[in-house]
Chain A
Amino acid sequence: MSAKAEIEIIERYCKGCNICVEFCPTKVLEMDAFVVKVVNADACIACNQCELRCPDFAIKVHKL
């Protein structure tokens, strides 16, 4: 399955609250030392849930 979107993470803004990781329906994201990172980019379905719920403006979902 190919990715439906490219996820951009602004690491400087991320505070590691874990909201995006928990609410991602396809487990694309993971926490690494309190900063989110993309671990399974191909599974992204571009649902935008992580961008909507990120309180820190740290995630941008660029639809492909």
Chain B
Amino acid sequence: MAYDYEKSIRPGKLPHIWCPGCGHGIVLKGLIRAMDTCELDRDKTAVVSGIGCASRLPGYLDACTLHTAHGRAAAFATGIKMAKPEMTVLCVGGDGDGTAIGGNHFIHACRRNINMTYVIMNNYIYGMTGGQFSPCTPTGMKASTTPYGNPDPIFDISKLAIGAGATYVARTTAFHATQIDKLIAEGIKHKGMAVIEVLDDCPTSYGRRNKFRSVVEMMKRLKDIAVPVTAAAKMTDEQLEGKVLTGVLFKEERPEYTEQYAQLIQRVQGA
């Protein structure tokens, strides 16, 4: 039998609003498979998002979902987790939403090591608002607000998350569909802040302006630039130029925030 995705989709919501070839649909499928792998109770799972194309994702999911202010997904998710620590909290969003407008909320959620899973779909651009450059638009590439090429260096989301203190950081691409659900499932099971960066394609706002002739060309590019961390250890710096590492990039155990906070309450009230 084919995989039953429709049991996890709200009735009547398909077809979704994403453009032809947009990788967000592939990530949604991966998220559904990961939620099934972890056997999450949909009534005890909160999926939180901000604003943007990627943030439309919870609207399709049959779970407890929350569509919040631009960039504030991590802040609302922190609130849910603090009020109801027994809930599984998932955050989804794009690169602009998570690292520019919500950059502050993102790094502080990482720093606190609060038990939630943040899936960032990095499509290199602000898609929904008209193709403005984001902190992840590669240097030299065109966006509606950088018609002569983007002069800024980029944010490496995974390195940012590791630096800010997230305890599980992984990266994959929309091409590597089976890896998406494996990494998200591992992130859900991990106790602490898990960040999964999924490199994505935006044919409408990014591909069109940067001479990608088709969706398939963008997908093949994702396939070509990805190098698994295990393989990268045996490669030279020249071979790794222009590549991105995929797989589990960082993992450690550190005290989790809601537990620490519960202990604090117990200590103060008990005294």
Q: Which residues of A contact B (CB under 8 A)?
A: 8, 12-13, 15-19, 22-23, 51-58, 60-63
Contact = CB atoms under 8 A, between A and B. Distances in A.
B148 interface: no
Contacts of A63: 1
A16 B219 CA distance: 15
Contacts of B16: 56-57
Contacts of B23: 55
B2 A15 contact: no
B177 A52 contact: yes
Interface string B204-222: 0000000000111001000
A55 B6 contact: no
A60 B265 CA distance: 51
Given A15-B21, A55-B18, 13 more contacts: A13-B15, A16-B20, A17-B21, A18-B21, A19-B215, A51-B2, A52-B178, A53-B26, A53-B175, A53-B177, A57-B15, A57-B29, A61-B2
29 contacts: A8-B2, A15-B19, A17-B203, A17-B215, A18-B214, A18-B215, A18-B216, A19-B21, A22-B219, A51-B3, A53-B26, A53-B175, A53-B219, A54-B26, A55-B21, A55-B23, A55-B24, A56-B14, A56-B15, A56-B18, A57-B6, A57-B9, A57-B15, A57-B16, A57-B25, A58-B15, A60-B2, A60-B3, A62-B2
Contacts of B261: none
Contacts, number: 66
A60 B178 CA distance: 16
Chain B interface secondary structure, helix, strand, loop or mixed? loop
The 4 closest A-B pairs by CB, nearest first: A55-B25, A17-B21, A60-B2, A15-B20
A63 B22 CA distance: 27
A55 B26 contact: yes
A15 B1 CA distance: 24
A17 B18 CA distance: 11
Contact of A52 (B18, B29, B214): B29
B3 A19 contact: no
A54 B2 contact: no
Contacts of A51: 2-3
Interface in B1-54: 1-3, 5-6, 9, 14-16, 18-26, 29
A48 to B, nearest CB: 8
Contacts of A12: 15
Contacts of A56: 14-16, 18, 20, 25
Nearest to A15: B20
Nearest to B220: A22
